[in-house]
Structure 1
Amino acid sequence: MTSPSLWQPFTLGRIELPHRLALAPMTRNRANADGTPGEHAAGYYGQRASLGLIITEGTQPSEDGQGYLNTPGIHTPEQVAGWAKVSETVHENGGHLFIQLMHVGRISHPDNTPHHHQPVAPSAISADQDMFTAEGPKKSPVPRELSVGEIRDVIGEFRHAAAAAIAAGADGVEIHAANGYLLHQFLAPNANRRTDEYGGSIENRARFSIEVAKAVAEEIGADRTGIRISPAFPLGGLDEGDAAAVRGQYRYLVGELAKLNLVYLHVHHLGDDELLTSLREAWPTAVLVVRYGRERDGIASDIDAGLADIAPLGRFALANPDIVERLRIDAPLNDLDPETLYTGGAHGYTDYPTLTHP
């Protein structure tokens, strides 16, 4: 049986959650070519609205922010209209929607973007990653280093995207500063070799993330702004150094972000519980924690330990639209079909069986 702590209600900024579960953000590659959510997106998120807090897939704030094929944006009127349908469906089914703002930086390829431009990054250092394109896998190219003026333009893109998300009816946004993407790249010394105010010291490497968070919170309210981090995650070819370096970087970053009183901190946790404990102690509002490989009986472990307030679910929620009910009554779970994660269409997206519709 699941821990009783999962079923306690929780106030998150302006919204009231019925329990401590949430939908973790997961890229599904089913958007239309123009970056509007695909035809089944409203159904997909609406099916999972019982999770209460629905955090969407990574959504680009600009054309430069796109890295993968068929990912959605939130920077054009058409994209806003598409997300409005998703927001409406989630709300009709009792959930609350946060759109994750994700600029991929160097984790991109010109073939995958509408304008076919060279990717941008803190420094002109390739991620050396295989990117899947319409013509098959291709190496991510050497990116173009952003100027200080362009960094400020990107901050403006996040501000605009946050306003667009609220215009689309979303309840808030999550800033993606994790998983090897642009904000995370600024934090990592092997991707950020800058010698100006955005590189070098831990304070300078954190500056971009802090300025993005300030701009978004100013635009839509701190109580509608969350942020996601992934300390020491080596995704996208990043290397943040040894444990002492990682702890120093993230204690400073989270300490500065805490001053903004953002609605939540979302930690994609790799296993340094000493660091997680210190971040929990420094953070004034809600903490969300997700761990790779967490099993069913461990969903509430961080909540029970006082390290988290909410437990976002990834693969369990993807394969079980009615995961809340299944956990509540201790019902068996569907297995995830990895072959349909990114294939497009309804199969493996909106056709997983529920307890009432096997």
Structure 2
Amino acid sequence: MDELFEPLRLGGLTLPNRLVMAPMTRSRASKGVINDLAPEYYSQRAGAGLIITEGTQPSVIGQGYIDTPGLHSPEHVQAWRKVTDAVHGGGGRIFVQLMHSGRVGHPSLYPDGALPVAPSPIASGERMYTPQGMLDHPVPREMTLDDIAATVEDFVSAARLAVEAGFDGVELHGANGYLIQQFLADGSNTRTDGYGGSVENRIRFAVEVARAVGDAIGPERVGIRLSPGNTANGIRESDPAGLYGALIRALAPYHLAYVHLMEFGHREVTELIRREWPGTLILNPHATGTEERVTPEAAAEVLRGGLADAVALASLWLANPDLPARIRAGGPYNEPDPSTFYGGDHRGYTDYPTLGG
């Protein structure tokens, strides 16, 4: 599996291997401040070619879940700085994922019980865990043009704070049914202005965010995550190939560091994006056959087949902080404990053993 260990140029960085740690929500922040164990958690995994953090809200109204971290205050910057210093001290590279959840939120998360915002007043149809227990996502407030402009600026501000906090770059979360994908999808975007209707209009918000953030911190520090055909959080896309082909062509002139695809069985769309995207492509591939998760062997096959330049893995990184060493040794691999995925203390967070540990 030598393909996994070849260096890769990504934006202004040289990655020592092509194993990317995918973003994984851990819900261990307090008032948006990442917890004191986070520097250890992330630096344990500094052997990754690139670490992408858990989803991090760029504004108060961008929060989608309890106990998720933010990047919109000096306190957030100070806490994240400890993480980036620890990762860089371990020889690693780290991007923060900026995630505005849009309609995937709840008034209990926001001051004065404000409604979550979205391109159109259409509820997700899903439920979420809140301090009051499981509750329905409400019908969101439709964003005005001023709201849209302000949200673009929220992404820009968070990206600037990310640089201040020592991150090597940012990933824009355009996947999993959150705000950027809500604009992209015709099932959640029924606007009749310049941000809705045609494919060209529905991709406009994503392109504006990517361009503005790239202008602010340099496009070589900006990636974007997409999940064509993903139905998470009530998303419906009638023509993923047409939609994402148009988006990729619109993003190409801005020379972003990478596109990160989360694959949901639409391999033909992955192949289309591979052909159309002129830059680095990171693939979080779907599991195949009877496998519950993507194996290292399947990751290497992605690279051998030329489908992507790097491969993002999730739960394998969560449970195996020394994943590159384990792959080289042919295993064994720790099994992740789902009961400790969200919230809690060090258990299932910083206590997974390393080889010989």
Normalising by the smaller structure, the TM-score range is over 0.9
Counterpart of 2:198 (choices 196, 201, 207) is: 201
Q: Specify the alignment match of 1:277 in structure 2.
A: 271
Decide whether the 8 Å contact of 1:45 with 1:90 is kept in 2. Answer: yes
What is the CA-CA distance between 1:344 and the residue it aligns to?
1.9
Is the aligned partner of 1:264 residue 2:258? Answer: yes
Q: Whole-Å Cα distance in 1 between the matches of residues 317 and 222 of structure 2?
A: 23
Q: Specify the alignment match of 1:344 in structure 2.
A: 344
Q: Specify the alignment match of 2:228 in structure 1.
A: 231
What is the CA-CA distance between 1:115 and the residue it aligns to?
5.2
Decide whether the 8 Å contact of 1:50 with 1:324 is kept in 2. Answer: yes
Q: Whole-Å Cα distance in 1 between the matches of residues 262 and 277 of structure 2?
A: 15
Q: Deviations over 1:38-75 (max 9, x none)?
A: 11111110100101311000000000100100000011
CA RMSD of aligned residues (A): 1.0
Of 165-174 and 293-302, deviating more is 293-302
Q: Whole-Å Cα distance in 2 between the matches of residues 231 and 22 of structure 1?
A: 20
The residue type equivalent to 2:207 in the other structure is I
Report SS of the residue matched to 1:79: helix
Q: Whole-Å Cα distance in 1 between the matches of residues 91 and 49 of structure 2?
A: 7
What is the CA-CA distance between 1:309 and the residue it aligns to?
0.6
Counterpart of 1:92 (choices 89, 96, 121) is: 89
TM-score by length of 2: 0.97
Is the aligned partner of 1:118 residue 2:115? Answer: yes
Q: Specify the alignment match of 1:303 in structure 2.
A: 303
TM-score by length of 1: 0.96
Decide whether the 8 Å contact of 2:261 with 2:283 is kept in 1. Answer: yes
Q: Whole-Å Cα distance in 1 between the matches of residues 112 and 213 of structure 2?
A: 25
Is the aligned partner of 1:20 residue 2:18? Answer: yes
1:44-83 equivalent positions in 2, closer than 5 A? 44-83=41-80
Is the aligned partner of 1:102 residue 2:99? Answer: yes
Q: Whole-Å Cα distance in 2 between the matches of residues 140 and 222 of structure 1?
A: 34
The residue type equivalent to 1:281 in the other structure is R
Q: Whole-Å Cα distance in 1 between the matches of residues 155 and 60 of structure 2?
A: 12
Q: Whole-Å Cα distance in 2 between the matches of residues 113 and 346 of structure 1?
A: 28
Q: Whole-Å Cα distance in 2 between the matches of residues 301 and 63 of structure 1?
A: 41
Decide whether the 8 Å contact of 2:283 with 2:310 is kept in 1. Answer: yes
Report SS of the residue matched to 1:99: strand
Decide whether the 8 Å contact of 1:255 with 1:283 is kept in 2. Answer: yes
- State how many pairs are aligned: 351
1:182-261 equivalent positions in 2, closer than 5 A? 182-241=179-238, 245-261=239-255
What is the CA-CA distance between 1:356 and the residue it aligns to?
2.9
